Amino acid sequence: MPRTTDHRGPTPRSGRAAPRPRGLPPALRTAARRLSTLALVAAVLVVAVSATAVVTGRWQAHPVLSGSMEPDLPVGSIAVVQRVPTADLAVGDVITFRDPGDADELITHRIVSITVLDGERVYETKGDANDDPDPWQVTLRGEDSYRLAAAVPYLGYSVVAVRQPEARSALIVAGAGVVLYALVSLFLPDQWWRGRVRAAHPVPVRESEDAP
């Protein structure tokens, strides 16, 4: 039987080129993405708990706009104060109180002496950077007062900005978006994300070299 020769030429290659694997393996990439999402959720929860503490009044944060307490409280930092029983205050504590001359202003100064007048404790205060004590004596009549717990540098001016209604609204919307993204990233399967990426960036079709 005579041999026949196939003149059809080489078999055309597939029209779609096989994508080359790039980056981390899929399993490792999925684990890294979910770990980063968990870290994001944890950070959001920490912020939420801190905000709740401030809203309930147990803690307060006040921007430092003067240098009277430097170097411990530099200008532009945040004074984080904790609500404590007034009876627990002692000489050396840094407290936050309303300016006796202007009830709308808050002052954070150190207690330098405590005396009792007519059955009431009277506090003499002073800024660490000031040469003389304050020209007043403070009477804290409430059961609780606020004592300095920590100082956070460089964030004081941002707190002042956030107090503006427009900035607060923008932060709430942005925070809600971050939480939603974190939850979606955490619970949707990785196959869904890969499908979305393929749909957005399809692999180009390569023409066969033997095509007419």
Residues 83-118: pLDDT tens digits? Answer: 999 999 999 999 999 998 888 899 999 999 999 988
φ and ψ of 139, to 5 deg = -115, 115
The pLDDT of residue 24 is above 60:
no
Helix 26-56 vs helix 165-187: angle between axes, to the nearest 10 degrees? 140
Please state the pTM of the whole predicted model: 0.57
Averaging pLDDT over each range in 15-19, 142-146, 171-175, 177-181, which range is the top one?
142-146
Residue 10 contacts by C-beta under 8 Å, 6 or more apart in sequence? 210
pLDDT in tens, 163-186: 566 656 666 677 677 667 666 666
Determine which of 44-48, 59-63, 87-91, 130-134 has the lowest per-residue pLDDT on average: 44-48
Distance (Å, whole) CA 142 – CA 97? 11
Determine which of 84-98, 120-134, 165-179, 193-207 has the lowest per-residue pLDDT on average: 193-207
Q: Does domain 58-153 have CATH number 2.170.120.40?
A: no
What per-residue confidence (pLDDT) applies to 6? 53
What per-residue confidence (pLDDT) applies to 209? 52
What per-residue confidence (pLDDT) applies to 62? 86
Q: Both tokens of residue 148?
A: 């300095």
- Domain locations in the chain? 26-53+166-197, 58-153
pLDDT in tens, 50-62: 666 666 678 888 8
Distance (Å, whole) CA 51 – CA 195? 38
Bridge partners for 63 per DSSP: 78
Distance (Å, whole) CA 63 – CA 99? 15
